[in-house]
Amino acid sequence: MRLLLVNPNTSVAMTARMERAAAAALAPDVTLTTLTAARGLPYIASRAEAQLAGAAVLESLAEHQAGFDAAVIAAFGDPGLIAARELFDLPIVGMAEAAMLTACLLGQRFGIVTFSGTLLPWYEDAVALSGLSARCACVRSVSAAFRSVTEVQHELEAEIVTLANRAAAEDGADAVILAGAPLTGLAARIGEAVPVPLVDPLAAALGQAQGLVRLGARPPLTGRFARPPAKPATGLAPALRRWIERDDA
């Protein structure tokens, strides 16, 4: 099985961290290829930035999807996820949706804890888009400042542990999602310090991508996620333009 992981931000260091963390979530017969967005922002923290990142995701998938069995969009707010599912023929999994669906298997209600208040509106939108608002106990953020986004999980570890415990005790969360690619790997490190299960979004997404491939998931020919008809395009990245203009009829 071949999986493609697309990091929608431009941080090569973040991609490398996720690649290292991914090893524990992959079956022995699975290989993972990682991509970092060629343009955009070092990390995504708003709806506007998510729109830009979503375009980068579509460009990356159009250029590199051939030969892969499934793809993972490796940013918690799932930039470009719905559009990518509509456009491409392989299963595509987003970290936010995968984490929430996984958390729903662990309890009735889940909490989301992240490292920056700027992220909250975007993450709240992600919950609504997933249709899981009734299952979400809270979306909380650490208020303390941090110096480096690539080291934020170490800088704010104590604050994140405190907030995850508050999500369980005060909000009634049965599981807590540690949201944001910079927090990848933290759940395994602090799990014993929180009385409810912690969900690592990358591990959840990789697990679900492998599951979809093993279930033999195929692209729909009709319905809400059927590929749109071909049409002319102007000014797009060449691979994406060719894919949009392609007519398989």
Task: Convert the pLDDT of each residue in 71-109 to its tens digit.
Answer: 999 999 999 999 999 999 999 999 999 999 999 999 999
pLDDT at 69 over 70: yes
Closest CA to 202 of 173, 221, 182: 182
Q: Work out the average pLDDT over 228-246.
A: 93
Domains of the chain (ranges, CATH numbers): 2-96+205-245 (3.40.50.12500), 97-200 (3.40.50.12500)
- Please report the pLDDT score of residue 221 as a whole number: 79
Task: Convert the pLDDT of each residue in 181-229 to its tens digit.
Answer: 999 999 999 999 999 999 999 999 999 999 999 999 888 878 888 888 8
CA distance 65 to 67: 6
CA distance 133 to 149: 28
- Please report the pLDDT score of residue 220 as a whole number: 82
Q: Work out the average pLDDT over 166-184.
A: 96
Contact 123, 179 (CB under 8 A): yes
CA distance 139 to 137: 7
Q: Which residue has the tokens 């830009």?
A: 52
